[in-house]
Amino acid sequence: MIVDCHTHIWQSPEQLGQLELGDAPRAQGRQFRALPASKSPWRDIPAADPDHHWAESSLVDKSIVLGFKSKYLQAEIPNAYVAQYVHRFPQKLIGFAGIDPTERSALDELRSAREDLQLRGVTLSPANQDFHPTDSRAMRLYEEAQRLDMPILIHPVGQFAEQSKLEFARPYLFDEVVRTFPTLRIIFAQLGHPWLDETICLLGKHANVFADVSGLLSRPWQAYNALVSAHQAQVIDKLLFGSDFPYTSVSDCIEAVYSINQFAQGTNLPVVPREALRGIVERDALALLGLS
């Protein structure tokens, strides 16, 4: 089974506000152009409409579709929009709600996302939503997500969003969160980029902490070093596959995983066993995340 744990959809680039969810697009395909209020010159935004997403998801068995909401960066990919799409193909798609812990309605929105919209997890980003990971408002949200058995995906700091707050993005800041809510499943997207070593430490320390490799695979040398480190720390079985659609494609990401040892050819550099690489691509992430 191949589970893509990290994909996005949106109706238009305006829904991203000042947010940048991934690297500048490289793949061919339909594209929008937009000029966010905080940035110049124009940036390319890849198409992420449901039809485009569905075509790409043909290469995997299951796909997690992420909503997102940030009052701070004026971004919202509506939960209802995500739910409407995933309910068209429930055999393959799983939706995660975008909840902003800084809003008074956050807990009500979380309950509604689970009970009314049937979304299965939550997308948060402290750096892009302007909250410290142990903010009391966020702690109440974690508690409710744990009660509802909804895993939380932590999106890293935006690549180019000037207003994103790096001081809230460090993975180690979640150590207290995980100690407080030990049964809450947490996934660090992009292996917590750029603090990969902190994420690897948390993977070894806590049973219910995982990380996806989305985004990382577009930076091959960094990806090689990260996977070697995860293997040497004996936590590579906590890594989940993610394509970061629409910024990269499933096929390119799978090829990148299996090609990761090319840097070691003809050298004394360490390699990652192929079976461990296969585990990243074919891991039953739904069982690990309680989504089976």
pLDDT in tens, 198-256: 999 999 999 999 999 999 998 999 999 999 999 999 999 999 999 999 999 999 999 99
For residue 37, the model assigns a pLDDT of: 41
For residue 161, the model assigns a pLDDT of: 75
Spatial contact of 21 and 155, defined as CB atoms under 8 Å apart: yes
Quick one: pLDDT band at residue 9, thresholds 50, 70, 90?
A: very high
Higher pLDDT, 12 or 253: 253
What pLDDT digit, counting tens, does each position of 262-280 carry? 999 999 999 999 999 999 9
Q: Which CATH architecture has domain 3-17+41-123+140-155+170-288?
A: Alpha-Beta Barrel (3.20)
Spatial contact of 7 and 64, defined as CB atoms under 8 Å apart: yes
Region 62-80 average pLDDT:
97
Sign of the CA dihedral running 191, 196, 198, 204: positive
CA 180, CA 175: separation in Å to the nearest integer? 9
Q: At what angle do helices 136-147 and 106-115 cross, to 10 degrees?
A: 20
Quick one: pLDDT band at residue 23, thresholds 50, 70, 90?
A: low
Enter the pTM of the model. Answer: 0.91
The pLDDT of residue 194 is above 70: yes
What pLDDT digit, counting tens, does each position of 93-138 carry? 999 999 999 999 999 999 999 999 999 999 999 999 999 999 999 9
Provide the mean pLDDT of the chain: 91
DSSP bridge pairs for 69: 76
